[in-house]
Every structure is written in C-alpha cells, then in structure tokens.
Amino acid sequence: MEIEVRDIPSDGLELSYAVASKEWGLPDKGITLLSPIQIDLKAYKHGDGEVYLLGELSTRVQAECVRCLKTVSCPVHSDFHLEYAPLSGDYLGKEEMLSAETIDLNFYEGTYIDIDDEMKGQFFLSVPHNPLCQPECRGLCPRCGTDLNTNACQCRPEPVDPRWAILGHFKYKENDAKPKT
C-alpha cells in the first residue's frame, strides 16, 4: 500500500484498503483470517513533506483457545497514529540518530510512503496471543482430556468425605517437602 505524498490535499486524504492474507504472505501461527484486514486512514501533510497518518485496522481471526483448544473467533482492532518525514534535506544521513531520539518518527524516500511493514506490525501486535473461548474457560483435564466446561471427570474427586480431606492434607505436605530445584 503506497501513499503518494503529492496527492494529499491540504484538508487531508481518506484512504481505505482491504488486504487479503495472501497479499502479505502472513505466517500461519495457528491463526486464520476470517475476513480481509480492513485499513481505514486519513493522511495529512504538514510543512516540508511531513505526513501524519491517523487510522484504524480491523479484522476477525480464528484461533484456538489456549486452555480447551476449542476454535474461537476473535476481533482484531488497532488504532494507529504514524508520523513520516522525507529522507532528504535536514534528515539526510541522520535517520538513525533521529529514529533513536524520536521512536515514533518514520522516514520515506522519494515521493511515496509504503505502509505495508507498519500495518503488518500493527496487525501482529493486536492479534490475541493467548486466545480464550471465554474468560472463565476451565480447560481440559490434564489427565483424561475431558472438556471441564461441559463435563466433570472422576480424576480429582472433591474431598467431601473427611477421609479424603486427610489424604489431601498428606498430599499437600508431601509436595511441600519436595526439595526445591
């Protein structure tokens, strides 16, 4: 996606893109795009070719609940604000120093700004990294694999009987006494 700087009028330029995952060659990572990545932005030009981009990126992805492995659909949304300066004149040869000082300042060469890398970054930052089917997902039993959201299993009976409670107490003691490694 390229923005031609000279095409930005004084009152700004609105742009919309829909990116299919194939266009970006997005790595799989267990995540599937359910709809194209929608990018809506407004570009403003200031002073000597400085450009401000204000916009939002949104889509839906399909991922796996990290606890119960159920397939879940999650919204992805990111608001962004980017600043660009032309790599010429005062900035030429100083871009590394300037980038270190003002992390939010990006540079462009020539007549247009390519925002693909920035948008990919925004996308990966906003993708859920520990997706859950529900905040209180109880996950799968580590022993028998039962989905504890829908079924109970017999692996760890509740210590309702006083005799069970005593056993639980011993178990706790035993674990507690393990040498720390």
User: Do 25 and 121 meet the contact criterion of CB atoms below 8 Å apart?
Assistant: no
- Mark the segment that binds Zn ion (CB under 5 A) among 23-31, 46-54, 120-128, 153-161: 153-161
Bridge partner residues of 39 (DSSP): 17, 57
User: Which of 95, 103, 13, 7 is closest to 54 using CA atoms?
Assistant: 13
Minimum distance, C-beta of residue 75 to Zn ion, in the bound complex (Å): 17
Angle, vertex CA 113, rays to CA 111 and CA 117, nearest 5: 150
Phi and psi for 179 in degrees, rounded to 5?
A: -65, 140
Nearer to Zn ion, 54 or 66 (CB): 66
b/e map of 128-159 (b: 16 or more CB within 10 Å)? eeebbbeeebebbbeeeeebbbeeeeeeeeee
Minimum distance, C-beta of residue 176 to Zn ion, in the bound complex (Å): 24
Could you say whether residue 65 binds Zn ion (CB under 5 A)?
yes
Could you say whether residue 144 binds Zn ion (CB under 5 A)?
yes
Nearer to Zn ion, 64 or 95 (CB): 64
Minimum distance, C-beta of residue 168 to Zn ion, in the bound complex (Å): 17
Minimum distance, C-beta of residue 85 to Zn ion, in the bound complex (Å): 46
- # binding residues, Zn ion (CB under 5 A): 12
| Residues binding Zn ion (CB under 5 A) | 65, 67-68, 70, 133, 137, 141, 143-144, 146, 153, 155
